[in-house]
Amino acid sequence: MTKLSVNINKLATLRNSRGGNMPNVVQSAQDIEAFGAQGITIHPRPDERHIRYQDALDLKSVVKTEFNIEGNPIPKFVDLVLKVKPTQVTLVPDAEDALTSNAGWDTLRHKDFLKDTIGTFRENGIRTSIFVDPDPKMVEGAVATGTDRIELYTESFAKTYAEGNKEGIIPFIKAAEVAQKMGLGINAGHDLNLDNIAFFKESIPDLLEVSIGHALICESIYLGLENVVNMYLHRLQ
């Protein structure tokens, strides 16, 4: 079964919009785990506009499933990850002013930087994953960085699927085949939702984990958080 890691950034956005501590992201993470999710993901950004660095520290002793911290490995982020020592760190090449993640790493151009950064995390027992586009060359480049996994950036698939075109899955199948041959674990995320997740999972049989936040929280407004978590788990079986 592909694991579901729930990104709770949007819950933090809601909390920050009003001040105070509602919703409580720590309690929310515990509830999401109790509902059956196999992981919690956070993506702190330098301006802390949703998840705050303190949230990561607060969640450290609370998350009992897999804890995944995503972000651009600037020094402040690296220090945070080394303090928390989550199950997994996912490296994303976000610009500081990026609204959301919008591209994978150029693993050839940034090989040395990624290799050094990943080496630091692996020395501390932290599994590593890097965000990549569904490009076989970028997947091949990921191998040289020493990463354990890649996370396929799935926005293009989600866009074409919503338009009724299932051909958008083809680059992801090819990228996944390269990753599998080279011994890389495969994660995926970005714009996956209840409508497209089952097709994506069926097309990528070696998919280890999906990280879903924005869509899951939006769907939960209508359908309820516990119900939606279990709807994803059913589709990922």
Of the residues 33, 66, 70, 209, only one is catalytic, namely 70
Q: Is the pLDDT of residue 140 over 70?
A: yes
Domains of the chain: 3-236 (3.20.20.70)
Instruction: Give residue 103's pLDDT.
Output: 79
Reply yes or no on whether 43 is catalytic.
Answer: yes
CA dihedral sign of residues 31, 188, 94, 125: positive
Reply yes or no on whether 151 is catalytic.
Answer: no
What pLDDT, in 10s, does the model give residues 57-75?
999 999 999 999 999 999 9
Instruction: Give residue 95's pLDDT.
Output: 63
Question: In sequence order, which residues have a C-beta less than 8 Å from that of residue 147 and are 6 or more positions away?
Answer: 91, 114, 118, 128, 129, 130, 184
In this prediction the pTM is: 0.95
Average pLDDT, the chain: 96
Confidence bin at 97 (pLDDT 50/70/90)? low
Of the residues 33, 43, 66, 209, only one is catalytic, namely 43
Reply yes or no on whether 110 is catalytic.
Answer: no
What pLDDT, in 10s, does the model give residues 153-174?
999 999 999 999 999 999 999 9
Of the residues 33, 50, 190, 219, only one is catalytic, namely 190
Instruction: Give residue 94's pLDDT.
Output: 77
What pLDDT, in 10s, does the model give residues 1-25?
899 999 999 999 999 999 999 999 9
What pLDDT, in 10s, does the model give residues 100-130?
556 799 999 999 999 999 999 999 999 999 9
